[in-house]
Amino acid sequence: MVAHWLDRRTLTTYPKGWYRFGLLCVAVLSSVIAAYEGQIAPVLGPILKQVHMPLVSYGYFAGGTVIIGAISAFLISPLADRYGRVAIIIPGILLTTLCIFAMATVVTSVSSLIVVRTLLAIVEGGQAAAAYGIVRDVSPRLSRAASFGFLTFAPVGTNWFASFIAGYTLPMFHGDWHSQFWIMAILSLVGLIVVTVALRDISPTLRSQVIVHEDQVRATGKADLPEYVDGLRQAARYGRVWALSCGVFLFLAVYFTVQTYGPIFLAGAFHYSTAKAAAINSYFWLANVPVLVLIGWLSDRIGNRKLVSLAGAVLLAIFLPYFISLIGHPVPDGTMIVYTSLLGTLLGIGYGPWTALFSETLEDIRPALQASGWALEGLIIRVYAAIAAVVTLIVATTPGLGWKAWFWWCFAAVLMYMVLLAMVPGRWFAFGRDKLGAAAAPAGATAEAAEMAGATQ
C-alpha cells in the first residue's frame, strides 16, 4: 500500500515552468518546517532558567544532540536516493511537528527537555539531506545556485523568523517561552498539510540524468537506484567532496556562532536586553536570505561558482577584524544592526555558490547519489557544530579569552576555507552559462571523464 502511494506521487516527465517552481517551493517549505521547529536560541535563556539548567551544561547537551542529528542524517538520508525523497520527508515532518507540540506541553524539567530535543534532533537529521536531494531534482544546472539559495531560507530564514517572532511576540505573552512553541506547532501543522498534498518525486530514471535545462531533458539510460552503502562509499572516495565539506564548516564558523548563541553573544558582549538582542540578531538572517538567492542567481547567470564564493570569503575576512575590535565596547542599536546585517550579507555571498558547486560535484561523480553526498557533508558539518557548541562556551567564558578569542578563530577558519576551495578541481575564471551546460557529463559517465570536460566551475 505504501509503495503504491509513493508510485502515484512519482513524476515520469520532468516538470517545467511554474509547475517545477511550485514543486521547488513545496520542497523548500518542507525544509523550512523542519528547520523552524529546531529553533530555540531566541528563548534559550528563559527555558534554562525555568528548568534550572546551567548554560554550560546546555552547551554540552546541545553538542550531543547535534552529534545525534549528524549520525541520524548519515544513516537515514541516503535511503532517499533509493526509495525517493517523499518517503523520508513527509513522515519526518509529521514527527517533528509532534515533537514541537511536546515542547509546548510537556517540557518542565531538564530530563523532559533532553528527551524532546534529542528526538527532534534525530528526526530533523534524518530528513535533512533528502530536502537537498529533491531541490536538486527539480533544479537544472542553469538555475541550481538560485534554487539552493532559495532552499537556504530553511536553516537561515527560520533563524531570522524565530528571532523576529520572539522579539515582537514575547512581550505580548509576558515573556512566556511556551508561546513560541505554540506558534511553531500551529504553523508547522498547516505546512504539513500543504506538503503532504503537493510534494512529488521525479522518477529514478530522471534522477539519474544531469539536467542542464528543463527543455533539454533526454531521459536516456536506466533508473539508477544506488544501494545504501554503495552511495555513501562512492561519495567518500573523492578528495574534492571532502575538501568542499570540510571547507564549508570552516567558512560557516560565524554562522554557527550566531545560530546557537547569537542573542546571548549580543547581550553578553554588548549589554543589550534579551528582547533587544533577539531583535538585532534577526537582522543577520534578514540580510542573509535575500543575498543567498540574489548571489545564487548571479552565479547562475555568469556561470561561475568558485570565484563568486571566494569573493564572499575575502570580504568576510576583511570585515571580521574590525568587528572583533568592537567586542566589549558599547555600540548603538542602529549601528549594530548594520554590522550584523553585513555579516549575514557576506556569508550569503560565499555560501550560495558553494551549494551549487557541491551539488554539481556530486552530480559529476554520479547523478543518483545526491542525498548520500549531502548526508556525508551533513555528518561532517554537524560534528563540527557539536564540537563548536561546547568549545564556544568554554572560550567565551574563560578569563583572558572571551568572545574576541572565539571570533579570531572564526577569522582563521575563513582563511582555511579559501585554501580548501583552491584545492577543488576547476577553473577560477570560467564564465558563461554555456560553461555549466557543457560541463555536464552524459548519464553514466565517470567522474574522471566529467573532470576532463571541466565539470566543476
Cell triple for 321: 577584524
Q: Please tell me the predicted confidence (pLDDT) of residue 436.
A: 60
In the chain, the amino acid numbered 74 is F
Instruction: Provide the pLDDT for residue 166.
Output: 83
- Burial annotation 69-108 (CB, 10 A radius, 16+ → b, else e): bbbbbbbbbbbbbbbbbbbbbbebbbbbbbbbbbbbeebe
Can you give the pLDDT at residue 433?
57
pLDDT number for residue 443: 40
Model pLDDT, residue 455: 42
Spans of all domains in the chain? 28-203+226-452
> Is this structure's pTM higher than 0.85?
no
What DSSP string runs through 115-163? HHHHHHHHHHHHHHHHHHHHHHHT--GGGHHHHHHHHTIIIIIHHHHHH
Of 68, 84, 234, 104, residue with least CA distance to 180: 104
Q: Cell 554562522 belongs to which residue?
A: 255
- Consecutive 10-residue runs of the chain (457 residues): their mean pLDDT? 63 87 90 82 84 84 83 84 86 90 90 91 83 88 87 76 81 86 90 90 84 69 67 84 93 90 88 85 86 91 90 96 93 93 94 92 86 88 85 88 94 96 78 56 40 40
Pairing relation of β-strands 201-202 and 10-11? parallel
User: What is the predicted pLDDT for the residue at 452?
Assistant: 34
Can you read off the three cell numbers belonging to residue 400? 583572558
* CATH class belonging to 28-203+226-452: mainly alpha
Q: Give pLDDT, residue 363.
A: 87
Say if residues 10 and 135 touch (Cβ distance below 8 Å): no
